[in-house]
Structure 1
């Protein structure tokens, strides 16, 4: 499923043609920060939206709202995952220093928010822990990335740090053999530089040195492309790709965009979607085994 945020609310697109097929009724007025889709135990999907004015959720197939939009402080980022008992969950990055959780079946708050960040939370991602339970990674303007056990609400290990810059994007990618990588970007507004760090999601050990990339917001995601783990970033209006583990550049993808997301295709391969500030969207598919990093993109 491919869904794009717009000024009038989310719109589901045909992944083959890019044409709109369903508009989701919108009860909020704040811009959409990020979208995510959570799978329910019966196979249906719930669409969630992080908003300037809170959180919204719809039945992804019918477009029906689950509940009245929740009026919160700004939610900057959103990710979806599944608890060990099969319950779908949304995690939202709150401007109020909290990670908010919502039940994907009902769209209502799930337990207490996760507290620990000392500033606004800017980004979240989900990943699977070695015992099969759900982990959450969050980055914020307190210059830390924190890892959480979603079921217990406890933090995992020490906070991950880099320079004294905000962490604005977090994504997770399963590398195989039970190992998951976190790719997290720090942005220096003064120096106009974005620095990407990679860590083992469980141990917190670095995976290679950090590297600089483009400064576009929403310009970072991870995916398996042509059978290899890749990191995609938007730089100067184009999508660049690197080896997710090695950090080595690959040939640039022939895609323009300021925002990039990747979703696995049912028959194998990965669909790469880009968007521009001018409202233009582009789609392309890769060959071979597919799979996308778990951030928020639908």
Structure 2
């Protein structure tokens, strides 16, 4: 969401960044960057700038989400960057967090000027997202080891939180939402969506059908989960309390 309330939907494909208006669904930009984009993340920097970041074959791309204009030439990345997320630390600074086949790296500054902290050791990172706990602590959540486990790290210290959560899957997708005051992790693989308490790593018994998953926290303390299947493109929604 932009500062003026407008919403943007962004995705990457083999030709670059695609950008839509979130309210009307109108395509605003297509194939921006002329690169194969693995993952896109959006957020605000410490200076309040709205930012889209994409991991590509040719490096790390930074775009203005209003018009999908590049903010800088693609930045050379140490390792083949695949995953990306943005995190805001409790002290105010913002980080761009990237994942590759060797680990997780944190970068500080609107244009990734400096590396923040030491590299987090994590083999074959496929996907990253950021979660904020009840006390505002930012956590990085990543799918690693080719989808076999999900790991959680403190975004400020790089310390791993708890033991890796096993998924035993391939092409695992993740989502998070707060349910009754506790942050919950959702993993989708082999047409099954599973639930976990994010901090403890304990599983929640109820599962759903789906190979893709998205979730959103609602103001009343519940969450809305959407699960999609590969075959037939069926999407189901579930209210979690």
Q: Same fold (TM over 0.5)?
A: yes
Whole-angstrom CA distance in 1 between matches of 2:205 and 2:230:
24
Q: 1:99 aligns with which of 35, 60, 78?
A: 60
Within the alignment, does 1:115 sit opposite 2:76 as a pair? yes
Q: CA deviation at 1:60?
A: 1.9
The residue matched to 1:92 in structure 2 has which SS? strand
Q: 1:151 aligns with which of 110, 113, 116?
A: 110
The residue matched to 2:210 in structure 1 has which SS? coil
Structure 1 gap segments, 5+ residues each: 1-38, 288-298
Native 8 Å contact 1:40 1:86 kept in 2:
no
The residue matched to 1:250 in structure 2 has which SS? strand
Q: 1:111 to 1:267 in 2, by over 3 A?
A: farther
Within the alignment, does 1:275 sit opposite 2:222 as a pair? no
Q: CA deviation at 1:266?
A: 5.5
* Residue-by-residue CA offset, 1:177-229 (whole Å, 9 max, x unaligned): 231111112134xxxx6122211011001111223214242522222122211
Native 8 Å contact 2:174 2:213 kept in 1:
yes
Q: CA deviation at 1:283?
A: 1.1
Could you say what the CA RMSD is over the residues aligned between the two structures, in angstroms?
2.0
Matched ranges for 1:172-251 at <5 A: 172-188=130-146, 194-251=148-205
Q: CA deviation at 1:113?
A: 3.6
Whole-angstrom CA distance in 1 between matches of 2:204 and 2:166:
15
The residue matched to 1:251 in structure 2 has which SS? strand
Whole-angstrom CA distance in 1 between matches of 2:110 and 2:103:
21
- The equivalent of 1:10 in structure 2 is none
- The equivalent of 2:12 in structure 1 is 50
Q: 1:266 to 1:62 in 2, by over 3 A?
A: farther
The residue matched to 1:81 in structure 2 has which SS? strand
Whole-angstrom CA distance in 2 between matches of 1:231 and 1:214:
16
Structure 2 gap segments, 5+ residues each: none
Q: CA deviation at 1:114?
A: 3.9
Q: CA deviation at 1:116?
A: 3.1
Native 8 Å contact 1:214 1:236 kept in 2:
no
Whole-angstrom CA distance in 1 between matches of 2:186 and 2:20:
29
* Residue-by-residue CA offset, 1:104-127 (whole Å, 9 max, x unaligned): 1121112344433312x2211122
Native 8 Å contact 1:89 1:101 kept in 2:
yes
TM score, norm. by length of structure 2: 0.90
Q: CA deviation at 1:285?
A: 2.1
Whole-angstrom CA distance in 2 between matches of 1:71 and 1:102:
9
Native 8 Å contact 1:40 1:87 kept in 2:
no
* Residue-by-residue CA offset, 1:243-271 (whole Å, 9 max, x unaligned): 11111112123x20111111233655322
Q: 1:152 to 1:55 in 2, by over 3 A?
A: closer
- Name which structure has the greater RCO, CA cutoff 8 Å, separation 6+: 1
The residue matched to 2:28 in structure 1 has which SS? coil
TM score, norm. by length of structure 1: 0.74
Q: 1:221 to 1:63 in 2, by over 3 A?
A: closer
